[in-house]
Amino acid sequence: MTNATLSPLAPGAGPLAALAVRGGLGLAAWGLRLASRRNDRERQLDRLEARAAAQRALAERDAQFGRATTRLL
């Protein structure tokens, strides 16, 4: 505990300090969860696979549009 939580001279500092500590711990836990998700190998591979599939679909769509526009000319 710090002096802010125990000090009788600063009324209301105890709850404020407790709120700040709880908020800081919550933020740290969130950061650790985010880091573990970003470093998850299976999740990264799934993302890469989905990105590659989307790129293939876009290339196919662009090729179809290209063929359709050349037929119009």
% of the chain residues with pLDDT over 70: 74
Domain count along the chain: 2
Do residues 34 and 53 both lie within one domain?
no
Do residues 50 and 20 both lie within one domain?
no
Compare 58 and 42 and report the one with higher pLDDT: 58
Checking if the pLDDT of 2 tops 60, the result is no
Domain that holds residue 4: 1-39
pTM of the model: 0.46
- Quick one: 23 exposed, middle or buried, by C-beta within 10 A (0-12, 13-18, 19+)? exposed
Mean pLDDT score, 12-23: 78
Do residues 70 and 51 both lie within one domain?
yes
Mean pLDDT score, 10-14: 61
C-alpha 23/C-alpha 30 separation (Å) is: 11
